[in-house]
């Protein structure tokens, strides 16, 4: 059986929050099987907030968790890295309200996890296997999840910008695809929106070091890491938001111009309606061969 995993040792970093601009230390620690991902505010008497759909707070430009009035902001890139590296259980300590943005991607988190090492635990991993489709629509925004034997995502974005326009990416989350195709993709923003966003208390920690900055017709801080880095980052965000179901998913996600609010709406619906999925375990070898088969039969 595929088993749960945690980090082998503690590992830490420091940085600033993308929206708050607040300095923060972050530490990832091993956790026992069955505990999931738990955030701990060391600046607030070690108050703990579990990374589950129950604790989703306001969601607009980033995903935040809240419990008893205590906030943890911009959780999506680290949670995405945990899914991508197969970490089921960890304690994440931070001494401020927002996770560090680092380089704007999930790569620094992946590298931290690799530095810490990954330890297999005894317990078999429980997957959320989708049994029935679920489709959510809101104007032009769409997100859906369909039954499948592995985890895959097809995401379409459409930004009226000469360097973006309509981009679609389909990716299978297996065999190192996450590390190669998604983890390095950075968040992005438009220079002409920056002032208005700062006035709303957003992007106070943003810089050309931690985001792709777009002017009206070009990238201010080239080079891009992929020609379609923008849609890749959206997939990275989606995976991080869907991590709030608290399990690895076996399903196919289709999203069109969705965002954090629609991603988390899907999480809430899945957690509310137990008839949409079942918990299942996977044979060690079976998942890999399925995944290889799916990639071979379906060009990305
Ligand atoms: Zn993001």
- pLDDT tens for 71-100 read 999 999 999 999 999 999 999 999 999 999
CA of 205 to the centre of ligand 1 (A): 14
Tell how far the Cα of 284 is from the centroid of ligand 1, in angstroms: 31
pLDDT at residue 184, rounded to an integer:
98
Calculate the average pLDDT of the chain: 93
Residue 195 has pLDDT above 60, yes or no: yes
* pLDDT tens digits, one per residue of 209-253: 999 999 999 999 999 999 999 999 999 999 999 999 999 999 999
Ligand 1 centre distance from Cα of residue 109 (Å): 13
At 181 the pLDDT is 97
Token look-up 């088993």 returns 3
- Mean of pLDDT values over 175-190: 95
Stretch 112-120: mean pLDDT: 98
**What is the structure's pLDDT at 163?**
92
pLDDT at 59: 75
In percent, how much of the chain has pLDDT > 90? 92
Measured in Å, residue 76 CA sits from the centre of ligand 1 at 6
Q: What is the mean pLDDT of residues 111-121?
A: 98
Q: What is the pTM of this model?
A: 0.94
In this prediction, residue 60 carries a pLDDT of 79
> What is the 3-state composition of the chain as percent helix, strand, coil, each rounded to the nearest 5?
30, 35, 35
Distance 285 CA to ligand 1 centre (A): 32
223 CA to centre of ligand 1 in angstroms = 18
Q: Average pLDDT of 35-60? A: 95
The span from the CA of 179 to the CA of 111, in Å, is 10
pLDDT recorded at residue 296: 35
The answer to whether residue 126 scores a pLDDT higher than 50 is yes
Share of the chain above pLDDT 70, in %: 95
More confidently predicted of 291 and 79: 79
Q: How confident is the model at residue 268 (pLDDT cuts 50, 70, 90)?
A: very high
**Residue 128: what pLDDT?**
98
Distance from the CA of 274 to the center of ligand 1, in angstroms? 28
- How far is ligand 1, taken at its centre, from the CA of residue 292, in Å? 28
The torsion angles phi and psi of 232, rounded to 5 degrees, stand at: -65, -40
Active site residues: 260
Q: How far is CA 59 from CA 144, 170, 200, in A?
A: 19, 25, 14
| Separation of alpha carbons 217 and 225, rounded Å | 18
Helix (H, G, I), strand (E, B) or coil at 299: coil
Identify the band that residue 293 occupies on the pLDDT scale cut at 50, 70 and 90.
very low
Tokens 């759909």 belong to 53
Distance between Cα 232 and ligand 1 center (Å):
10
Q: Bin 147: left if φ > 0, else alpha if -120 < ψ < 50, else beta.
A: beta
CA 75 to ligand 1 centroid distance, Å: 9
Checking if the pLDDT of 138 tops 80, the result is yes
pLDDT-derived band at 299, boundaries 50, 70, 90 = very low
Residue 295 pLDDT: 37
Rounded to an integer, what distance in angstroms lies between the CA atom of residue 147 and that of residue 163? 34
């Amino acid at each position: 059986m595929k088993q749960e995993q945690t980090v082998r040792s503690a590992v830490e970093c420091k940085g600033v929050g993308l929206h708050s601009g607040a300095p923060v230390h972050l530490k990832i620690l091993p956790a026992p099987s069955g505990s999931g991902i738990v955030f701990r505010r060391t600046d607030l008497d070690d108050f703990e907030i579990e990374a589950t759909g129950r604790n989703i707070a306001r969601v607009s430009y980033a995903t935040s968790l809240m419990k008893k009035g205590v906030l943890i902001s911009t959780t999506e890139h680290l949670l995405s890295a945990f899914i991508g590296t197969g970490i089921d259980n960890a304690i994440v300590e931070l001494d401020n309200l927002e996770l560090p943005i680092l380089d704007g991607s999930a790569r620094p988190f992946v590298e931290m996890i690799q530095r810490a090492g990954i330890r297999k635990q005894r317990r078999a991993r429980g997957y959320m296997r989708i049994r029935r489709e679920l489709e959510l629509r809101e104007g032009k925004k769409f997100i859906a999840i369909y039954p499948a034997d592995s985890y895959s995502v097809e995401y379409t974005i459409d930004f009226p910008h000469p360097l973006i326009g309509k981009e679609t990416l389909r990716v299978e989350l297996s065999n190192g695809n996450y590390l190669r195709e998604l983890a390095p993709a950075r968040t992005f923003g438009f220079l002409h929106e920056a002032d208005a966003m700062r006035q709303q208390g957003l992007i106070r920690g943003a810089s050309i070091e931690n985001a792709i900055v777009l002017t009206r017709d070009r990238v201010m801080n080239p080079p891009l890491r992929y020609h379609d880095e923008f849609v890749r980052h959206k997939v990275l965000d989606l995976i991080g938001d869907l991590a709030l179901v608290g399990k690895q998913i076996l399903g196919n996600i289709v999203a069109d111009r969705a965002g954090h609010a629609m991603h988390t709406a899907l999480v809430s619906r899945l957690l509310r309606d137990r008839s949409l999925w079942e918990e299942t375990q996977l044979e060690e070898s079976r998942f890999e061969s399925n995944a290889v088969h799916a990639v071979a039969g379906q060009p990305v």
